[in-house]
Structure 1
Amino acid sequence: MGKCLSWKYFSLLLSLLFFHSQFPFSSSLSSNSQCSALLHFNHSLSLHRRASHCGYSYPKTGSWKEDKDCCTWDGVVCDNSTRHVIALDLSCSWLYGSIPSNSTLFLLRHLRSLNLARNDFDLSLISPEFGNFQSLTHLNLSHSRFYGEIPYEISQLSSLVSLDLSYNGDLMMTIDYQSKHQFGKESLVTLPRAIPTSLGNLTQMIYLDLSYNNFNGLLPSSIFDLPNLSVLDLERNQLVGPLPNHVSGLNLLIDLSLSSNFLNGTLPSWLFSLTSLMKLTLHQNQFIGEIGEFKYNNSLDYLDLSYNMLQGSIPSSISRLVSLTTLDLSSNNLQGSVPSSISRLVNLNTLHLSSNNLSIMLDLELFSNLNVFNFSYNNLLVSINNNLTFTLPNLTELYLSSCNISEFPIFLKVATNLGSLDLSNNRIYGQTPEWLGAVGRNSLTFLDLSHNFLTSIDKIPWKNLYSVDLRNNLLQGPLPTLNALSLRYLFASNNNLSGGIPSFICNASSLEVLDLSHNNFSGTIPKCLVLSNALSVLDLRMNSLNGSIPASVSCGNYLRNINLNGNQLEGPLPRSLENCTNLEVLDLGNNKINDTFPYWLESILELQVLVIRSNKFQGHISNPKAEFPFPNLRILDISNNDFNGPLPRKYFKYLKAMMNVDKGEDGLKYMGNEYYHDSLNVTMKGLNIELVRIQTIFTTIDFSNNSFIGEIPQIIGSLNSLKGLNFSHNNLIGYIPSSFGHLTNLEWLDLSFNKLDGEIPKQLEDLNQLAVLELSHNQLTGPIPSGKQFNTFENNSYTNNLGLCGFPLTRTCNNHTSKLPTTSTLQQENNLEPKNGFGWQAVLIGYGCGVIFGTLMGYLMFKIGKPKWIVRMVKLEQHILLRRLKNNARRSGGRK
């Protein structure tokens, strides 16, 4: 419309203002003015396809025409006699923008049903004007990015039977309460994110959904007294406290979902007496105690009490739930045997009992009607009656991980429709039976036989498999051939498989994770693996692969982890790796790769782990080429190579991911996803350790066993999230930076086998997390700091530093010596030399070798800087002088 309103829009606004001035909000609008109100509401918003996350969506208001009766518009319903707009359904309509309190939407006072779900109202506040729809029976504002306080006025909509405010994320309620002592009348107080007791006023309410928000506090008991309530969904909030002991309503309740909160206490008896209840989900809370006795109930068909802390046994009264189709009691502390009465539940098709302490006899009686059975992680002996022969035509999913079984259940033999089979973490040994290939021949998609003692697999004939897990067995020979057309995940690590990587892998065009690590595979890496457009993880570490890494690496759009550690790969590192823009982990350690430092990787923004240790990399590490190199790098290991020159100070300056890492409020997080957890071999606290999972807060630098020279940069002290730092076995000189005192998260520090001198900075006393300190084989002098962590280090932390004294060494520090000028007092890291170069070194040289020579050295350093030969001479003369000063001090002390 440009800078001016169009005439149509302006006339529409004038007409609306006229009607608003003539009629207060409580008055009725004519049919024409209702249409004008709708048009104005539509014009106040814009249309964006991304505003509606629906399976099917389209802009309903896009077809509204001003010259047509709005009762014919898409989404609008009018009363046949009065022509009032009584229903407005604009769900999934691409609407974007805010809804202020003066929106013309609130002129439609005859609305009985309003559905604005699945749009984007850009964090609008829910206006109190919603409370003026006195005839409203259905209000749906779900999935629409409303924010803030839910107005008290909504609880005054006495005709409301359905209220859905779910999936808005951060709503809160205004609480009404009466305090006779303080106020003498009803008052309104805002308590952030609590559910108000005033909802108990909505006595006509049938459907109430406040799920997927951030409501917290206690559950108001008034909600449980609503006499007509059929559906109550408060899932995924932060509600706390117990359920009420008694309720007076809920006689018509069909669906109760309180999952994923922090509710606690025992389960009240009324939960098991609701005769109309069909669905009860309380999973992922903190309920304790035993499961109560079920009353006669022929309605309940879905019961989920999983992920709580329930104890005791499964009550036999569960057999009264004759309509039950799904039962989930997994992840509790239930004990005893599974009651045989469960077999009476003839409609039961899904049974989850995993992660308890239960025992069971697997036979025909239990499985006859089941589609899904999960008994994993009970860690008790599961008895299998393999003498029975029967068919299980309905079984589609079977999970028996960690059940101490030692053979394949024979009842699987004719499970022709099986889709998922998990027998991992058991004691099954030897060869797979020949009949296994017929199990779910055309239906099996998920197979997990990992962590057993299998020596060979007859064949993998299934053609629709998307996930195969054979990890941690005793498999030998080549990898069994399988149909790879549907394959997405293939795990075969930690076996004794040999031969080349099979060619059928190249047919797996949908393969996302390939883990063949810790085997004896030989030969070269197939080029198809680095050209895949789907691959996310390529883990071939700890094999015997040779040759070079294929030069052309496309990385597709998803490659996140490349781990080739522990092979015999050689040649240069392919420059095409810089195309892997989503790469997070690159581990090429323990090979024979011959190249210079791969500075061109510094522009990969997602890179968090770079390990090239124990190869044949060489040369200087020059200044970075990118403006902000390695912005997310947290683990950098270039140890055991032939790098030389000074430490790369400018790289350390930009390692932002090693600074001020937030541990977060959501507990520990790990790299990887639900299918693959990133792992890594690191030298940690002097030991070579495999991190099976990598915490996102883990940060370490290892430059050990190279030929680095020069001084340690002060800037490293800014990497205050470092857990480990290893510069050992180099040719570093100078002083330990006092800035290391800022590395308060440091757990191990290894500077051994260098040529460091000066005193150990007293600032290191503040490193309360430091568990391992290695400073041996240097030229350090002076007293060892005392107290805190330094009282825990032993002699071998300081061996071959002839100038050190104090605990734990037997060499005590002389009080007089400590008063003399020492390295640390004469030379501070932040003021190493004056800007003109005429520093204290020249004065010491003059003191030791003659004033004229010393002055000449100072002049040369002033005019031409510090040539290397002068630096070496200065340091040599410095040590000579210090020895003379100490000897003189001892002699003078003796004379006293």
Structure 2
Amino acid sequence: MMGYHSPTFCLLLCSHFISVLCSSPSPTHLCSPNQSAALFQFKTHFSINQTASKNCEYSNPKAKTTSWKKGTNCCLWDGVSCDNITGEVISLDLSCSCLSGTFPSNTTFFLLSSLQRLDLSFNDFGKSEISSNFGRFPSSTHLDLSYSWFSGLVPYEISYLSNLVSLYLSYRPTTDLIGFQAPGPILKLKKFAVNEIVRNLTKVREIYLDGIDMSSIDPNSLVNLSYSLTSLSLFGCHLRGKLPDNIFKLPNIEYLRLDENPKLTGQFPKSNWSSPLLDSLYLSFNYFSGKIPSSLTNPAKLSILTLNDNQLEGFLPDNQNAFPNLALLDLSNNLLSGTTPSWLYTIPRLLYLNLGNNQFNGHISEFQNRLLIKIILKDSSFRGPIPSSISKLVDLTSLDLSSNELNGTISLNMFSELQNLKKLDVFDLHSNFIEGDLPKLPPNIRFLSVSNNSLVGTLSGICNMKFIEILDLSHNDFSGIIPQCIGSFSQSLSSLNLKMNKLHGAITSIFAKGCALKNLNLNSNHLEGPLTPSITNCKELQVLDARNNMVNDSFPHWIEALSELQVLVLRSNRFHGPITAATSPRSLLKLRIVDLSYNNLFVPLPTDYIKNFKRMINIIDDGKAVKGFEIELVKILTIFTSIDLSCNNFEGQIPRDIGELSSLRGLNLSHNNLVGHIPSSLRNMTRLEWLDLSSNKLSGQIPTGLLDLTFLSSFNVSCNQLVGPIPKGKQFNTFENGSYQGNVGLCGVPLSRGCNNNVLGQPPPAPWMNSHEDDGSKLEFGWKVVVIGYGFGFIFGAAMGCGCLRTGVGV
């Protein structure tokens, strides 16, 4: 039996105590005074500003350096970690620390020679350059300087960090929308720096350089990237040229993001091009062409695939058992064609599907997956009925099947169970061939567009919608009256478009106080009676379009209460009487477009209103002319202004004040009873592109000052009593005979009648001057403006004959 004092026992006892001692927690080591001083000096360079970390994605911003106190152990400071043995600072995490100020290039911070991990992301070092001294951390494995507003060149000395495993230098926050270029300073990478990084960082697994300007880099510089790479992100780097195939052949790649490099070209290799570990592939907004290879459907782990906004063409590969883990698939805005393969409808985990704006045809198959949240199949050539399986996708929040060739009727209950259909980019069936009544709709829906179909029946089905914000039922065959409920949910409704239907009766809906409407479009129906004054409860109304109806009313002076009104179109109705301002018209200062043509308004022109249209004076725009007969404008409310008072019975002279509307693009006063001279002040309307004063009783000469209207592309003063020579030069050299016909006292080019002293007198009025009926001799022309954003349009009905065609045509 072994004794307590035997050598063997003593050896065992010693071993036990050593083991216990080694397993006990080590005491906290103090960091060296010089490292503590270096960190504290670094702290003093910056102020604390919460907005400096407003884009922080990983955690709530926290001013970590406020815990740094002199005389305390820096190893216990927030964000600081030390080596357990030496006490040297080996990790510094100041991400989202609200640091604001210029980053010093020669601070003692760079004396932390043992630093292995450094994270300064999501702060604001506004316009500071990245110091070459960042290359002085030979042990560094992780460097993150992203989203902290560094600028200038990325120093090639970064390549000295040969032990780097993770490099994050991304410039703009990933929360930015695709296509948005963040303002302010910018980081750039030059060719030499990229070559050195590729050559020396052989251990690197993660490279994130989003938003850095790499426009001078040949993509072939990336050929020799480390085979260790698991993540490569070059989002929005201005890359140009052909992407080398080897990028797709990196054996360990899991995350590959090259999107929003619109000048980056390439084609997918037909085989062996992707790692089996690939999880996320972002290639949208580039210029890739060719076909999608069948090998792309092989990576079993792939969960995100975005190839949208390229030049890809051909059929989708018809592989079976494809993409078992795919959650997001976006192939929109390409040239893909043919029928969609069966696997597309059976992907078991798919949440988001976007095939919009391609050339697909054939039927949309039934969806087997019940997890789908978003389906976008717009702008293709799909035909046939809407799949009945959509009614079972209870988690669906967005559905857009617009601009296809879908037909048939919709089951009344197809969408009634889709309680999550509520987002603004949602429920869109416009521009198809769908027939039948309006189906029952889920009450939570916020956006609905079924425009440009063949739907019939009444609109009573919309009354169960509690939160509707945008409602577009235009270009259908709906009949009956406008439901009273429209007024009751107007507190959420911002845009109502009912144009081009067969609605009739008086506009009796009472718009409640707090009405949120910004756009009210009743164009081209059979509505009659007066406009309801309750529209004045819609204090934010910007667009009121009631043209091409049978509204019988005096001019609605109550519009003066609509201080935000920018577009007023009452064309082709039965408005009558004078339109002199009831009180002060100063509340209509934002009006940009006024169309009161084809009515029976009379007495003098509404001078009080015209001279207060302040938004038509000195509007700053892009300076681009809006010429031509067919014009599409997306930003009409920022660059476009017009007045059309034609085909009424206005009398008196054209006010000189109208010349102050220097940003006006179109003016049509034709087919009235205006007298006097053409005001010379019109020369101040330097943005004017069309001017129609035809079919009035204007006399005198055409002012030569109109030669200053260099944007003028259409001009008509026919059927007046004008005399004298037609101005020569500039735009006037482009106008033809029709612009001047019916003025027997005019002479000069383009008329065949030369000018001499015998033709300068006042001629007798032509026999047709007082006629407002169509004499059958017109050569019509007009201007058609289609406004995409608000869904309304105009025809400025200037006629080259001397009568007024009294049937307006809606758009």
Counterpart of 2:79, as a letter, is: G
1:89 to 86, 93, 98: 93
Equivalent residues of 2:336, 2:360 under 8 A apart: no
Task: Quote the Cα distance in structure 2 between the aligned partners of 1:49 and 1:655.
Answer: 40
2:411 to 455, 458, 470: 458
Shift of 1:805: 0.9
2:227 to 241, 248, 251: 251
Task: Quote the Cα distance in structure 2 between the aligned partners of 1:105 and 1:719.
Answer: 63
Task: Quote the Cα distance in structure 2 between the aligned partners of 1:133 and 1:430.
Answer: 66
Equivalent residues of 1:658, 1:719 under 8 A apart: yes
Task: Quote the Cα distance in structure 2 between the aligned partners of 1:118 and 1:338.
Answer: 41
Task: Quote the Cα distance in structure 1 between the aligned partners of 2:195 and 2:52.
Answer: 41
Do residues 493 (structure 1) and 448 (structure 2) align? no
Shift of 1:814: 0.9
Aligned length: 702
Shift of 1:474: 4.8
Do residues 225 (structure 1) and 230 (structure 2) align? no
Task: Quote the Cα distance in structure 2 between the aligned partners of 1:35 and 1:231.
Answer: 27
Distance 1:726 1:147, change over 3 A: farther
Question: What's the counterpart of residue 773 of structure 1?
Answer: 715
Shift of 1:525: 3.9
Task: Quote the Cα distance in structure 2 between the aligned partners of 1:437 and 1:131.
Answer: 55
Task: Quote the Cα distance in structure 2 between the aligned partners of 1:779 and 1:301.
Answer: 77
Question: What's the counterpart of residue 510 of structure 1?
Answer: 467
Shift of 1:171: 6.1
Do residues 45 (structure 1) and 23 (structure 2) align? no
Secondary structure of 2:751's counterpart equals: coil
CA RMSD of aligned residues (A): 4.6
- 1:688-739: CA deviation from partner (whole Å, max 9, x where unpaired): x896855453332222234444443455445454332212233333333444
Question: What's the counterpart of residue 265 of structure 1?
Answer: 241
Counterpart of 2:689, as a letter, is: E
Do residues 125 (structure 1) and 85 (structure 2) align? no
Question: What's the counterpart of residue 828 of structure 1?
Answer: none
Shift of 1:325: 4.5
Q: Which has the higher contact order (CA 8 A, sep 6+)?
A: 2
Secondary structure of 1:244's counterpart equals: helix
Question: What's the counterpart of residue 637 of structure 1?
Answer: 595
Secondary structure of 1:162's counterpart equals: strand
Task: Quote the Cα distance in structure 2 between the aligned partners of 1:694 and 1:512.
Answer: 21
Equivalent residues of 1:509, 1:532 under 8 A apart: no
Question: What's the counterpart of residue 393 of structure 2?
Answer: 440
Equivalent residues of 1:404, 1:426 under 8 A apart: yes
Task: Quote the Cα distance in structure 2 between the aligned partners of 1:81 and 1:754.
Answer: 98
Do residues 291 (structure 1) and 251 (structure 2) align? no
Secondary structure of 1:538's counterpart equals: strand
Going by fraction, where is helix more abundant, 1 or 2? 1
Shift of 1:611: 2.3
Counterpart of 1:793, as a letter, is: F
Equivalent residues of 2:127, 2:185 under 8 A apart: no
Question: What's the counterpart of residue 526 of structure 1?
Answer: 484
Equivalent residues of 2:334, 2:358 under 8 A apart: no
- 1:575-600: CA deviation from partner (whole Å, max 9, x where unpaired): 6636533x443323344254434453
Question: What's the counterpart of residue 98 of structure 1?
Answer: 101
1:810 to 721, 735, 752: 752
Equivalent residues of 2:491, 2:512 under 8 A apart: no
Distance 1:474 1:298, change over 3 A: closer
- 1:344-382: CA deviation from partner (whole Å, max 9, x where unpaired): 66666655444444455655567654655xxxxxxxxxx
Equivalent residues of 2:514, 2:537 under 8 A apart: no
1:547 to 506, 509, 517: 506
Distance 1:559 1:124, change over 3 A: farther
User: Once structures 1 and 2 are overlaid, which stretch shifts more, 328-337 or 124-133?
Assistant: 124-133
- 1:290-348: CA deviation from partner (whole Å, max 9, x where unpaired): 43344464343433444444444444554675654544444444444444457666666
Question: What's the counterpart of residue 383 of structure 1?
Answer: none
Question: What's the counterpart of residue 741 of structure 2?
Answer: 799
Shift of 1:786: 3.2
Do residues 480 (structure 1) and 439 (structure 2) align? yes
Question: What's the counterpart of residue 596 of structure 1?
Answer: 556
Task: Quote the Cα distance in structure 1 between the aligned partners of 2:241 and 2:625.
Answer: 27
TM-score when scaled to structure 2? Answer: 0.72
Distance 1:280 1:138, change over 3 A: closer
1:130-169 aligned within 5 A: 131=134, 134=137, 138-144=142-148, 146=149, 148-149=151-152, 155=158, 158=161, 162-167=167-172, 169=182
Question: What's the counterpart of residue 57 of structure 1?
Answer: 60
Question: What's the counterpart of residue 195 of structure 1?
Answer: 189
- 1:276-302: CA deviation from partner (whole Å, max 9, x where unpaired): 333333334234464334446434343
Equivalent residues of 2:207, 2:233 under 8 A apart: yes
Equivalent residues of 1:649, 1:713 under 8 A apart: no
1:661 to 615, 620, 623: 620
Distance 1:80 1:281, change over 3 A: closer
Equivalent residues of 2:435, 2:456 under 8 A apart: yes
Task: Quote the Cα distance in structure 1 between the aligned partners of 2:200 and 2:513.
Answer: 61
Secondary structure of 1:225's counterpart equals: helix
Secondary structure of 2:220's counterpart equals: coil
Shift of 1:421: 4.4
- 1:164-204: CA deviation from partner (whole Å, max 9, x where unpaired): 3522745657xxxxxxxxxxxxxxxxxxx642456x3xxxx
Task: Show structure 1 runs of 5+ residues with no match.
Answer: 1-26, 174-192, 201-219, 373-394, 670-683, 823-896
Equivalent residues of 2:346, 2:369 under 8 A apart: no
1:310-709 aligned within 5 A: 310-315=288-293, 318=296, 324-340=302-318, 351-360=329-338, 362=340, 364=342, 368-369=346-347, 371-372=349-350, 397=353, 399=355, 405=361, 407-409=363-365, 411-412=366-367, 414-422=368-376, 435-436=388-389, 439-440=392-393, 443=396, 445-446=398-399, 448=401, 451-452=404-405, 454-459=407-412, 460=414, 461-464=416-419, 465-466=421-422, 467-475=426-434, 478-485=437-444, 487-502=445-460, 505-519=462-476, 520-529=478-487, 531-543=489-501, 544-548=503-507, 550-555=509-514, 559-567=517-525, 568=527, 570-574=529-533, 577=536, 579-581=538-540, 583-591=541-549, 592=551, 593-598=553-558, 600-601=560-561, 603-604=563-564, 607-615=565-573, 616=575, 618-622=577-581, 625=584, 630-631=589-590, 633-641=591-599, 642=601, 644-648=603-607, 651-652=610-611, 655-656=614-615, 659-663=618-622, 693=634, 695=636, 696-709=638-651
Equivalent residues of 1:78, 1:86 under 8 A apart: yes
Distance 1:553 1:170, change over 3 A: same
Shift of 1:51: 4.1
Counterpart of 1:663, as a letter, is: D
Equivalent residues of 2:447, 2:469 under 8 A apart: yes
Distance 1:650 1:445, change over 3 A: closer
Shift of 1:752: 1.3
Equivalent residues of 1:150, 1:171 under 8 A apart: no
Question: What's the counterpart of residue 854 of structure 1?
Answer: none
Task: Quote the Cα distance in structure 2 between the aligned partners of 1:526 and 1:508.
Answer: 13
Equivalent residues of 1:647, 1:709 under 8 A apart: no
Task: Quote the Cα distance in structure 1 between the aligned partners of 2:397 and 2:277.
Answer: 33
User: Once structures 1 and 2 are overlaid, which stretch shifts more, 286-295 or 129-138?
Assistant: 129-138
TM-score when scaled to structure 1? Answer: 0.66
Task: Quote the Cα distance in structure 1 between the aligned partners of 2:266 and 2:35.
Answer: 60
Task: Quote the Cα distance in structure 1 between the aligned partners of 2:508 and 2:59.
Answer: 46
Shift of 1:138: 4.7
State the identity as a percent: 32
Equivalent residues of 1:518, 1:541 under 8 A apart: yes
Counterpart of 2:122, as a letter, is: R
Secondary structure of 1:524's counterpart equals: coil
Task: Show structure 2 runs of 5+ residues with no match.
Answer: 1-30, 174-181, 764-811
Distance 1:278 1:649, change over 3 A: same
Distance 1:629 1:114, change over 3 A: farther
User: Once structures 1 and 2 are overlaid, which stretch shifts more, 123-132 or 453-462?
Assistant: 123-132
User: Once structures 1 and 2 are overlaid, which stretch shifts more, 591-600 or 102-111?
Assistant: 102-111
- 1:752-799: CA deviation from partner (whole Å, max 9, x where unpaired): 122322222234345454332211122211111234443443333212
Secondary structure of 2:246's counterpart equals: helix
